[in-house]
Structure 1
Amino acid sequence: MVNYAQLLLPDFSLILCGYLVCRFTPLNRSVWQPVESLVYYLLFPVLLFQSIVKSPVDIGAASGLIAAGMLTGVAGIALAYSLPRWPVLGKHLDARDHAASAQIAFRFNSFIGLAIAERLAGAQGLLMIAVLIGVCVPLFNVAAVWPMARQGEHGFLRELVRNPLIVATVTGLVANLLGFRIPGWIEPTVTRISAASLALGLMAAGAGMQFGLLTRGKALSVSVLAIRHLVLPVIAFGMGRLFGLNPVQTTVLLAFSALPTASTCYVLAARMGYNGPYVAGLVTLSTVLGVVSLPFALGVLR
């Protein structure tokens, strides 16, 4: 567990660096908000597309990992959706806050996931996590948008079609299956953009951390974070055993299950007219809890 904590230190150091730079230098939120948009709409989609298309995807060999990852995510979605129906707990949940924060329980920070997978298992780990991202991001984004679209008056399909992560993953998978490869003359540029997205994405995640409004909806907060950081790693452990995954696949799956939630959760909630600062507080706490849940999944469960 200590070795995994040391392995993850560089990535969480970048998150801490982003937080400190944003809070204690002139490079405040007015600087980092455009950086988040740059990463979200351009840099990260390029990284995702490149990670998926640069190596042939063996669907047969990856089928067990894909199934285990998707079933783990579906279990998280089901648990998050079911919270209002739980005895006692359901009576204390605000419907709009639940609609906005249910996504915290199952979405994941792809920036951190890609950085950690490469550190854990090199190019093979990077390809595996890219495949998981490719198949899970559309499903998880559908699940994130659905309760807010139902509570509000937003076009469900419009929100999905405009999501850059869904566009990048779908086009990447289609390009891979069609045998498309990035031309050699442009690959160095694409690689540099991809590398920049990881560092900037991690720092932007830190810059976006907000501890305000965490006292609001304590029962809801504890529930969605417990699903994200405790229940899902345990479910992933069971899925790994059920599908007989090899050691590298198991490592990637456990890391995937214990990631902090997506930093874009609060962007989505705010854009759809929900309580953005509350969701931002949950994202912040999830990022901090990732320091514990990732070593727990990789060092204890594994």
Structure 2
Amino acid sequence: MNYAQLLLPDFSLILLGYLLCRFTPLNRAVWQPVESLVYYLLFPVLLFQSIVKSPVDLAATSGLIGAGLLAALSGIALAYSLPWWPVLGRHIDRRDHAASAQVAFRFNSFIGLAIAERLAGGQGVQLIAVLIGVCVPLFNMAAVWPMARHGQQGFVRELLRNPLILATVSGLVANLLGFRIPEWMAPTVSRISASSLALGLMAAGAGMQLGQLARGRSLSVAVLTLRHLVQPLIGLAMARLFGLSPVQTTVLLAFTALPTASTCYVLAARMGYNGAYVAGLVTLSTLLGVVSLPFALGVLR
């Protein structure tokens, strides 16, 4: 299977979003509300629908959940250990590291769901939705922790109000209770879900900017290497350790090779750090996803 060709439509939407934002009147003033619409409404609907569509077999997905959590914890540990690495640690600014370490382990959910659907259809979306549900709270806490002294109060409350967490948890509860979306409502929900993928990918492209990547080159290289090379290798090791099925292995490898979350720079800026530098890392990570996803799915798999 030609994974580069398979992923072309999704990255074409990212490129389209970038071009529209930079070279047409559809600039950031247009795309910022679109990001909010996708994040707070369209995307949670997609997650909820994906989970409740068919019964979740917790026994069958327990291996995937365990592999995903171990891969996540490994990525977090490696990202925060960078200042103590020999030679490299001397070239790392601690404030920049606190803001950018999250780039090494967080992921772009928009791209992840779009790719999972393309790779494995509804089953792929359901599996990656489960990974999102168990990893988003962990990643959010790990991202905020080193910047907490400059952050706002009510961190736990913010986690509990996260729309992705709410949609995933409520979807899992509804699934286990046997709830299904009524037939008369299903077409509307399906259309909302479908629109979230296209708009989410275009919004990811519209948010790209290189900013201040000239500073902190050593840190930039280290963080992006962890995100796009080391994490997929860890994903492969976890898949073998837990004996995952071919579909679960494909989803886990795609999950570990995704570009970083586009909200990394928002969090860094909101908590008093260099948001422009992190925005540059997010942009470069999105571009590197064109390489890391085919590498994970076509070479490692």
TM (normalized to structure 2)?
A: 0.96
Partner of 1:294: 293
Distance apart, 1:142 and its partner CA? 1.5
Amino acid corresponding to residue 219 of structure 1 in structure 2: S
Structure 1: segments with no counterpart, 5+ residues: none
Counterparts in 2 of 1:50-199, with a 5 A limit?
A: 50-152=49-151, 154-199=153-198
Amino acid corresponding to residue 223 of structure 1 in structure 2: A
Amino acid corresponding to residue 237 of structure 1 in structure 2: L
Say whether the 8 Å CA contact 1:146–1:156 is kept in structure 2. no
Write the distance in 1 (CA, Å) between the matches of 2:277 and 2:111: 22
Amino acid corresponding to residue 300 of structure 2 in structure 1: L
Distance apart, 1:122 and its partner CA? 1.3
Partner of 1:34: 33
Write the distance in 2 (CA, Å) between the matches of 1:192 and 1:144: 33
Secondary structure of 1:35's aligned partner: helix
Partner of 2:24: 25
Q: 1:271 to 1:182 in 2, by over 3 A?
A: farther
Q: 1:162 to 1:236 in 2, by over 3 A?
A: same
Say whether the 8 Å CA contact 1:117–1:125 is kept in structure 2. yes
Secondary structure of 2:228's aligned partner: helix
Q: 1:211 to 1:245 in 2, by over 3 A?
A: same
Partner of 2:4: 5
Write the distance in 1 (CA, Å) between the matches of 2:272 and 2:178: 41
Q: Deviations over 1:42-98 (max 9, x none)?
A: 111111111112221101011111111111111001111111222232233222222
Structure 2: segments with no counterpart, 5+ residues: none
Distance apart, 1:172 and its partner CA? 1.9
Partner of 2:238: 239
Q: CA RMSD in A?
A: 1.4
Write the distance in 2 (CA, Å) between the matches of 1:97 and 1:288: 21
Amino acid corresponding to residue 73 of structure 1 in structure 2: A
Amino acid corresponding to residue 212 of structure 1 in structure 2: G
Moved more, 162-171 or 199-208: 162-171
Write the distance in 2 (CA, Å) between the matches of 1:259 and 1:60: 26
TM (normalized to structure 1)?
A: 0.95
Moved more, 87-96 or 43-52: 87-96
Write the distance in 2 (CA, Å) between the matches of 1:149 and 1:194: 34
Amino acid corresponding to residue 181 of structure 2 in structure 1: I
Q: Deviations over 1:161-202 (max 9, x none)?
A: 232222222222222222222222222111111111100000
